[in-house]
Chains A and B, each alone.
Chain A
Amino acid sequence: MDGGATLPRLLLRNAQRFGHRKAAMREKDRGIWQTYSWADSLTQIKAFALGLAALGFQRGDKLALIGDNRPRLYWALTAAQCLGGIPVPLYQDAIAREIQFVLDHSDASMVIAEDQEQVDKILELQDSLPKLTYIIYDNPKGLRNYRHSMLRSFSQVQELGQQFERDHPGYFEAQVEVGSEEDIALICYTSGTTGSPKGVMLSHRNLIATANNLLMVDRYVEDDEIMAYLPMAWVGDTVLSVVMAQVTGLCVNCPERPETAQQDMKEIGPTVLIAPPRIWESMLSQVQVMIDDSTFLKRKLYHLFSPIAQKVAALRMKKEALPWHLRALYHLGNLFVYAPIRDRLGLRRIRYAYTGGAALGPETFLFFRGLGVNLKQVYGQTEIASICCMHRDDDVKLETVGTPVPQTDIAITESGEIISRNPGIFKGYYKNPQATAEVVKDGWLYSGDAGLIDEDGHLVFFDRSKDMAQLNDGTRFAPTYIENKLKFSPYIREAVVIGQDRPHVAAMINIDFEVVGKWAEKRGIPYTSYTDLSRKREVYDLIYKEVERVNSGLPAATRLQKYVLLHKELDPDDEEMTRTRKVRRRYITEKYADIIEAFYEEKPEVTVKTVITYQDGRQAEIEYTLPIRTVEGVEAVQV
C-alpha cells in the first residue's frame, strides 16, 4: 500500500477478513437487534459513496453529519472518507445558529441529517448556506410531503450509487487506492469553553496511530462490543466507534433511541465503555434511588457491603495486600450486591471502562471501582485525537489521570500548564492557522489545563488553568473539585462554585429534578415546575445537609458559606454549557453576576432577570426571586 493505512483501506481489509462471519454493527430497530456484518457494511458504504460521487462529491469536499448514532450516519462518514472527502460531524442538539456557523465555516457541500427535525433545522438555514448542494436524510418519517430540490433520501443516494457503479466500474476502489494516510480524515468542531467553535483537522495517520497506541495499553479484540451512544461530534466517539472498530474489527451497537440507551446497554452488555462524568454520576444516582426504593433487606445488604467495596477498591489502588476476611466479605458482597447492580446498569461484561472529558468526583470513581468495574480515568483533547494519558489496569490512582500512552510525551510548563506530544497531534484548525500556532509550539500541544506530574509519573489534572481560583486572601482552590463533591449527591445535578478574588466560597446549584421531584412527592410537598421546586424551603434544607457533608471534607478556608438553588437548569442552548455538558464558567459568572454580588453583599435573597431561549430560537424574559442560604458555623471554624 502506497499511501499507508487509511480508514477506507482498513474497511476493505475487514470486509475481506471477516466477510459475513462477524457483526460490524448492530442497531436496535423495531425492538430487535438488526445485525450488519463487515461485508454488509462495505456494500452499504460503497453504494452510498458512489451515490455521493454521482451527486458531484469530490476529493476534499466536506460532508456534514447531524443526528443520533445511526449505522447510516456512520456509513456516510466512512463513505465520505472513501472518496477522499472529509466528514464533519455536528452535535445533534445544536441550535440553528451553531449549525449555521459550522456548516458555513467548514464549507460543507452536502449534509446528511438523521430525521425531519434535523432536516427542518437545515432547510431553515439554507438561504445563509450558499455552498450547500444536497441534504440527505436517513429516516423518511414526516418527510413524505417535502418537495425540495436539495433533498435526497439515503436510499435514493444509494440507488444513484448503484447506477454510477455500472457506468464507472472500479471507481470506488480507485478512490480508496489514491487516498493517503496524510489526508484529513475528520474535522471535529470543538465546542470550546470560550469563543466560537474551531474545526480540528485530524488525518488518517493521527487517528490510526492514536488507536494503535491505546491498543498497546488496553487490548481490544474483534469480539469486543461497544455502545455508540455519545454524540458523533465528540472525537471520543469517532475514535472508538469508527477508528477502533476499523482497526480491531469490534462490533458497534447503536441504541434504539437516546432515551433507551441504558436499557439497550443492558441487553448488549458492552465489554468496553467510555462515558463522561455526568453519565457515571447519573448511574450512581440511579443506584442510590434504586436502593432507596427497594425492600428493607436489600437496603440493609447494600449498606452493609457498600463500604466494604470502597475499602477494597481503595486498598487495591494503593497496591496493598487484602486481608483474608476482607477478601471473603468482598466475594460475598459481589454475590449479593455488586454483581446484581453491575447487571442492572448493563456493566456485567465490562472489561474496560473509562471516564474522561472532565474531572469525575473521587467518591463516584471509587464507587464504580468498588463495584468491580475496571473504571479508569483518561485525559486528552480533540487536538490530540482524543486520549494521550490513561490509567493502566494495575496502576490506578484516585486523584490522577494516569500515565502517558505509548509514543507520547507529557510535560508541565513553568506556568503549570500541561503540554503533550505524540503522533496524534492534529493538522491544525481549519482555516485558522493563527489559532493553531497558539496551541502548537515546537511540536508540543498546549492544553490550557493546569496540572502536575506526581512522583509515580502520573499526571494530575487540576482544572482548566483559567478555572483555578484564588480567594482574596490568597488561598488557592479548584472550583471543579468542590463542584464534583457536590455533584456526588443524587439531589444535585450541576453546581458552579465561585470565589475568585472574594472573601469566601459560594455555590450556585442545580437540583436534580427527577430525584428531588421524587423525594418531594414521597413527602407530600407540592410543586409545579423546576423553578418552583428549586425555591421550596424543604428543598433548601435538603441541600443544606449535602453542603454540610461537602464542607466536612474541605479545608476550612475553602468551605462553602452560601448557596443558591438556581431557578433553571444550565443548558447548552443558553450557552451556559458546552455541547459536551461542560460548564462555561466565565459566561456564567457574567450572566449570573447579580447572584454573585448578592452572595457577597450578604443579602437574604436576590432577584434575577433571565432571558430564556426556546428550542426554536425565540426568547423571553422572566423575573425570579431566589433565596440565598447561609451555611451556619463555617465562619467560626475559619482560621
Chain B
Amino acid sequence: MGVLTIERVGRSFGGIRALDDVSLEVTAGEILAIIGPNGAGKTTLINAISGRYHPDRGRILLEDLDITFLPPYKIARRGIARTFQNVALFKGMTVLDNLMLGRHVHMKSRTWRCGLYWGLAQKEEIAHRQVVEDIIDFLEIEPIRKRLVGELPLGLQKRVELGRALAVQPRVLLLDEPMAGMNLEEKEDMARFILDVNEELRTTVLLIEHDMGVVMDLSDRIVVLDLGRKIAEGTPSEVRSNPDVIKAYLGEESAAGWAAKG
C-alpha cells in the first residue's frame, strides 16, 4: 500500500519547470531512492513533500490525507521528517538540545507551563527525553550527547541531523543527500543506520543520493528524475540497465557508445 502518493505534481520557478508532472507512489516500509543529474528536481520534490514549497499543480497524499497545502510543521506532526543537504542544525546548541527540538512538534505544554517546568510540563519533558535517549542509543552518539553541534565533524553532524528527524518519530523519512561530504567509513556507518532505521523502526525512507554505490546497495526501488520529469522507476538492476537513465547521466553520444560496449 502506498504510504505516500505523489500525483502529477508540478512546480515552476519563473520560467524553469523544476517539477513537471511527476507521479510516484512510496510503498510502506521500503527504501526508495530518487536519483538524477544536477537540477533534475530531486530536492524540489522533497521540499514539496515536506511543505517547504507548495506545488503549482497536482497533489500529495499521506495515506488518505491531502497534505499538498499544509504548512511544514503540520506535515511534520503527521509523520514526515526530513534532513537537509547542507546540515541545518543549530550549531550553537548541544546535540541533546537539537534532538529535543525534534520532539517540539509533539509537545503539548504551552510557553508558561514549560517555563515553570511544573506538573504536566515536567512529565512531558521526561517522556520526550526518553524518546530522545532511545535515539541517542540507536545512533550510538552517547559520547557527544552534551557537545555543541558546531564542534563536531560533518559525518557526526549528519548523524545528529538524522537523529533530529527520527525524534519526530516519522512514518516517512526524507533524506536529502545523507552521505554528501563524508569519507568512506562515515558513509558505511550512515548506510548501516539507514538500514537499521528501516528495519528496526520500520520507517519508510525516501532518499536522494549521488553515490551510486550506496543507492544501488541500499534501496529497494529507484526513481530517476531528469529536468523535472520522471524518466524511469524500478529496482536497482532495472534502473541500471535503462537506456534513458544512461542517456540522462552521460549524454546522448556517450550513451550510444556505452550501450554498444554493453
- Give min CB distance, B9 to chain A, whole Å: 34
- Give min CB distance, B183 to chain A, whole Å: 11
Task: Find out whether the CB atom of A30 lies under 8 angstroms from the CB atom of B130.
Answer: yes
Interface pick from B135-143, B163-171, B236-244: B135-143
Kindly state whether residue B200 has any CB partner on chain A within 8 Å: yes
* Complex Cα spacing A145 to B199, Å: 8
Our pick among B129, B130, B143, B199 for the contact of A257 (Cβ within 8 Å) is B143
Neighbouring B residues of A31 by C-beta, 8 Å:
129, 133, 136, 142, 145
Kindly state whether residue B196 has any CB partner on chain A within 8 Å: yes
A122-153 with Cβ < 8 A to chain B? 141-142, 144-145
Task: Find out whether the CB atom of B143 lies under 8 angstroms from the CB atom of A30.
Answer: no
Check A144/B199 contact, CB under 8 A, given A30-B137, A256-B142, A257-B140. Answer: yes
Task: Find out whether the CB atom of A260 lies under 8 angstroms from the CB atom of B196.
Answer: no
Kindly state whether residue A263 has any CB partner on chain B within 8 Å: yes
Check A144/B200 contact, CB under 8 A, given A30-B130, A30-B133. Answer: yes
* Complex Cα spacing A234 to B134, Å: 31
Neighbouring B residues of A259 by C-beta, 8 Å:
142-143
Neighbouring B residues of A257 by C-beta, 8 Å:
140, 142-143
Neighbouring B residues of A144 by C-beta, 8 Å:
199-200
* Complex Cα spacing A372 to B216, Å: 58
Our pick among B129, B143, B192 for the contact of A263 (Cβ within 8 Å) is B143
- Give min CB distance, A574 to chain B, whole Å: 18
Task: Find out whether the CB atom of B196 lies under 8 angstroms from the CB atom of A141.
Answer: yes
Our pick among B138, B142, B192, B199 for the contact of A260 (Cβ within 8 Å) is B142
* Complex Cα spacing A566 to B133, Å: 41
Neighbouring A residues of B196 by C-beta, 8 Å:
141-142
Task: Find out whether the CB atom of B134 lies under 8 angstroms from the CB atom of A30.
Answer: yes
- Give min CB distance, B2 to chain A, whole Å: 24
Neighbouring B residues of A263 by C-beta, 8 Å:
143
* Complex Cα spacing A32 to B137, Å: 12
Chain B residue at minimum C-beta to C-beta distance from A28: B142
A234-275 with Cβ < 8 A to chain B? 256-257, 259-260, 263
Task: Find out whether the CB atom of B143 lies under 8 angstroms from the CB atom of A141.
Answer: no
Chain A residue at minimum C-beta to C-beta distance from B200: A144
* Complex Cα spacing A203 to B139, Å: 41
Chain A residue at minimum C-beta to C-beta distance from B196: A142
Task: Specify which of A31, A142, A256, A263 lies most central, judged by the most chain B CB atoms within 10 Å of its CB.
Answer: A31
Q: For the complex, would chain A's binding face be called helix, strand, loop or mixed by DSSP majority?
A: loop
Task: Find out whether the CB atom of A141 lies under 8 angstroms from the CB atom of B133.
Answer: no
- Give min CB distance, A96 to chain B, whole Å: 18
A4-44 CB mask vs B (1 if < 8 Å, else 0) is 00000000000000000000000001111000000000000
Neighbouring B residues of A141 by C-beta, 8 Å:
138, 196, 200
Chain B residue at minimum C-beta to C-beta distance from A262: B143
Interface size on A, residues (CB 8 A): 13
* Complex Cα spacing A142 to B200, Å: 7
Task: Find out whether the CB atom of B143 lies under 8 angstroms from the CB atom of A260.
Answer: yes
* Complex Cα spacing A257 to B143, Å: 7
B126-159 CB mask vs A (1 if < 8 Å, else 0) is 0001100110111010110100000000000000
Task: Specify which of A30, A32, A141, A145 lies most central, judged by the most chain B CB atoms within 10 Å of its CB.
Answer: A30
- Give min CB distance, B105 to chain A, whole Å: 22
- Give min CB distance, B90 to chain A, whole Å: 20
- Give min CB distance, A80 to chain B, whole Å: 27
Chain A residue at minimum C-beta to C-beta distance from B134: A30
Task: Specify which of B136, B137, B199 lies most central, judged by the most chain A CB atoms within 10 Å of its CB.
Answer: B137
* Complex Cα spacing A318 to B46, Å: 73
* Complex Cα spacing A524 to B26, Å: 49
Neighbouring A residues of B199 by C-beta, 8 Å:
142, 144-145
- Give min CB distance, A441 to chain B, whole Å: 48
Neighbouring A residues of B130 by C-beta, 8 Å:
30
Neighbouring A residues of B142 by C-beta, 8 Å:
31, 256-257, 259-260
- Give min CB distance, B5 to chain A, whole Å: 28
Chain B residue at minimum C-beta to C-beta distance from A256: B142
Chain B residue at minimum C-beta to C-beta distance from A261: B143
* Complex Cα spacing A256 to B196, Å: 20
* Complex Cα spacing A144 to B200, Å: 7
* Complex Cα spacing A260 to B142, Å: 7
* Complex Cα spacing A501 to B130, Å: 63
* Complex Cα spacing A259 to B141, Å: 10
A364-382 with Cβ < 8 A to chain B? none
Chain B residue at minimum C-beta to C-beta distance from A263: B143
* Complex Cα spacing A256 to B136, Å: 11
- Give min CB distance, A529 to chain B, whole Å: 11
Chain B residue at minimum C-beta to C-beta distance from A257: B142
A89-143 with Cβ < 8 A to chain B? 141-142
Chain A residue at minimum C-beta to C-beta distance from B130: A30
A28-74 with Cβ < 8 A to chain B? 29-32
* Complex Cα spacing A142 to B195, Å: 9
* Complex Cα spacing A144 to B201, Å: 11
Chain B residue at minimum C-beta to C-beta distance from A32: B133
Neighbouring A residues of B136 by C-beta, 8 Å:
30-31
Neighbouring B residues of A145 by C-beta, 8 Å:
199
* Complex Cα spacing A256 to B137, Å: 9
Neighbouring A residues of B134 by C-beta, 8 Å:
30
* Complex Cα spacing A259 to B136, Å: 14
Neighbouring B residues of A30 by C-beta, 8 Å:
130, 133-134, 136-137
* Complex Cα spacing A495 to B136, Å: 37
B201-234 CB mask vs A (1 if < 8 Å, else 0) is 0000000000000000000000000000000000
Chain A residue at minimum C-beta to C-beta distance from B143: A259
Chain A residue at minimum C-beta to C-beta distance from B145: A31
- Give min CB distance, B143 to chain A, whole Å: 4
- Give min CB distance, A518 to chain B, whole Å: 13
- Give min CB distance, A198 to chain B, whole Å: 35
Chain B residue at minimum C-beta to C-beta distance from A255: B142
Neighbouring B residues of A32 by C-beta, 8 Å:
133
* Complex Cα spacing A141 to B195, Å: 12
Chain B residue at minimum C-beta to C-beta distance from A142: B196
* Complex Cα spacing A257 to B139, Å: 12
Chain A residue at minimum C-beta to C-beta distance from B193: A142
Neighbouring B residues of A29 by C-beta, 8 Å:
137
- Give min CB distance, A573 to chain B, whole Å: 15
- Give min CB distance, B192 to chain A, whole Å: 8
- Give min CB distance, A66 to chain B, whole Å: 18
* Complex Cα spacing A256 to B140, Å: 10
* Complex Cα spacing A263 to B129, Å: 20
* Complex Cα spacing A31 to B138, Å: 13
- Give min CB distance, B182 to chain A, whole Å: 16
* Complex Cα spacing A29 to B138, Å: 12
- Give min CB distance, A614 to chain B, whole Å: 11
* Complex Cα spacing A30 to B140, Å: 11
Neighbouring A residues of B129 by C-beta, 8 Å:
31
B108-133 CB mask vs A (1 if < 8 Å, else 0) is 00000000000000000000011001
* Complex Cα spacing A257 to B144, Å: 11
* Complex Cα spacing A145 to B133, Å: 23
Neighbouring A residues of B140 by C-beta, 8 Å:
257
- Give min CB distance, B200 to chain A, whole Å: 6
B25-75 with Cβ < 8 A to chain A? none
Chain B residue at minimum C-beta to C-beta distance from A145: B199
* Complex Cα spacing A145 to B142, Å: 25
- Give min CB distance, B135 to chain A, whole Å: 10
- Give min CB distance, A517 to chain B, whole Å: 12
- Give min CB distance, A331 to chain B, whole Å: 33
Across the A-B interface, the 3 shortest Cβ-Cβ residue pairs: A30-B133, A259-B143, A256-B142
Besides the contacts A142-B196, A142-B200, A145-B199, what 20 more A-B pairs have beta carbons closer than 8 Å?
A30-B133, A30-B134, A30-B136, A30-B137, A31-B129, A31-B136, A31-B145, A32-B133, A141-B138, A141-B200, A142-B199, A144-B199, A144-B200, A256-B142, A257-B140, A257-B142, A257-B143, A259-B143, A260-B142, A263-B143
A/B interface sample: 6 pairs, CB < 8 A: A30-B137, A31-B129, A31-B133, A142-B192, A144-B199, A145-B199
